[in-house]
Homo-oligomer: A and B are copies of this chain.
Amino acid sequence: MPVVGMVGGGQLARMTHQAAIALGQSLRVLSERSDDSAALVAPGVSLGSHLDLAALREFAAGCDVVTFDHEHVPGEHIRALADAGHTVLPGADALLFAQNKRAMRERLTELGVPCPRWAPVERGAGVKAFARGKTVVVKAVTGGYDGRGVWMVGPDDPLPDTELIVEERVTLVRELAAVVARSPFGQVAAYPVVETVQRDGICVEVLAPAPHLSEERATAAQELAIRLATELGVVGLLAVELFETPDGLLVNELAMRPHNSGHWTIEGSRTSQFEQHLRAVLDYPLGDTALTAPVVVMANVLGGEPGGISIDERLHHLFAAEPGVKVHLYGKQVRPGRKIGHVTALGDDLEKTRARAARAARWLSEGREA
């Protein structure tokens, strides 16, 4: 069997390892620390930095395919691995558009894909002219995630000292995500479009399928994601984060890996996004993306304040109250606001299913009901 290696030892690698086991594999992981989420559960973990080309070369030598848990591997390192004959998926040319927000906006604009109005920021210049006195969204071109690297900037606020783009603040109905997978052969499989709910820039809840989304708009979102996967040459998963506005859909961000907006697929779809990513990078035919229940709700478990009962005790209470909610804990040290796990509830009724997931996540996060 071919060997898949994942650079980065976070929860995405951890859950990909679970999927790899079913396929007769054991995911190889390049992890920074021995207590990283995936390093705790996979054998033969390589310790090393994703910024260290020598470590990447050594890791790639033991793999048939190298893929990623995050988008922080420098493009020149990915190119160096490819030049040395390693199969790295997604490739550097595609991954650029998930690593660099300016490159992404430029390319999407070329492709005529609807985005928020935006502009590059050259040494702080141009923001005032762009903003015309309004509050705008300023984003670091590289390195942001989970709300980091994104700022709301009013007319008199100073600008962060990093390479930036500026975007209009969009009037949102809500946020959606369209996740697709693409194989080297060119097969594409699309998951149902979901609604994502953010708090302080962090995804807290995903509703699948997106409630009350018209079939026309759902299809448009899937077609957009499929088009982007194809045009950008993505292999593996592509998550397209979308703004739903009164006037239609705008692309917010791209990710090219298993994504928080797809965690619901572990129980909620016939093929989990983690298995799908493996199938894609191995060029296997892709799996069925059908829902397994009418309503699937994923809620993230964020680290709560220190103290209180242990996670183990919290699990006891949760399992007693909700025998059907599925729990995924990442083995990470608890820090306030850090994603330490997620829960998934399946059901027929949106509000009831949502309440069950929220209650379960709160129990694990805070060790109490409300």
Q: Is A84 an interface residue (CB 8 A)?
A: no
Complex Cα distance A67/B320, Å? 23
Q: Is A316 an interface residue (CB 8 A)?
A: yes
Q: Is A232 an interface residue (CB 8 A)?
A: no
Point out the residues of chain B lying under 8 angstroms from A285, CB to CB: 316, 319-320, 323
Point out the residues of chain B lying under 8 angstroms from A316, CB to CB: 284-285
* Contacting pair A22 B26 (CB below 8 A): no
* Contacting pair B23 A41 (CB below 8 A): no
Q: Is A354 an interface residue (CB 8 A)?
A: no
Complex Cα distance A101/B49, Å? 55
Binds B, one of A162-170, A196-204, A286-294: A286-294
Point out the residues of chain B lying under 8 angstroms from A324, CB to CB: 270-271, 287-288, 290
Complex Cα distance A18/B23, Å? 12
Contact with B along A320-357 (1 / 0, CB 8 A): 10011011111100000000010000100000000000
Q: Is A312 an interface residue (CB 8 A)?
A: yes
Return A43 CB to nearest CB of chain B, in Å: 5
* Contacting pair A23 B315 (CB below 8 A): yes
Q: Which of B2, B24, B286, B346 sits near A341, CB closer than 8 Å?
A: B24
Q: Is A40 an interface residue (CB 8 A)?
A: yes
Return A324 CB to nearest CB of chain B, in Å: 4
Complex Cα distance A20/B328, Å? 9
Q: Is A102 an interface residue (CB 8 A)?
A: no
Number of A residues with CB within 8 Å of any CB on chain B: 48
Complex Cα distance A284/B285, Å? 39
Point out the residues of chain B lying under 8 angstroms from A284, CB to CB: 315-316, 319
Interface residues of A in 266-292 (CB under 8 A from B): 270-271, 279, 284-288, 290, 292
Point out the residues of chain B lying under 8 angstroms from A51, CB to CB: none
* Contacting pair A311 B270 (CB below 8 A): no
Return A320 CB to nearest CB of chain B, in Å: 4
Point out the residues of chain B lying under 8 angstroms from A1, CB to CB: 310-312, 329
Q: List 19 A-B contacts (CB under 8 A).
A: A1-B311, A17-B21, A17-B41, A22-B327, A22-B328, A22-B329, A23-B329, A24-B327, A24-B329, A24-B330, A24-B341, A39-B43, A40-B43, A42-B43, A43-B45, A270-B346, A271-B323, A287-B324, A292-B293
Binding site for B on A (CB under 8 A): 1-2, 14-15, 17-18, 20-26, 39-45, 270-271, 279, 284-288, 290, 292-293, 310-312, 315-316, 319-320, 323-324, 326-331, 341, 346
- Pairs A-B, 3 closest by C-beta atoms: A24-B329, A288-B324, A285-B319
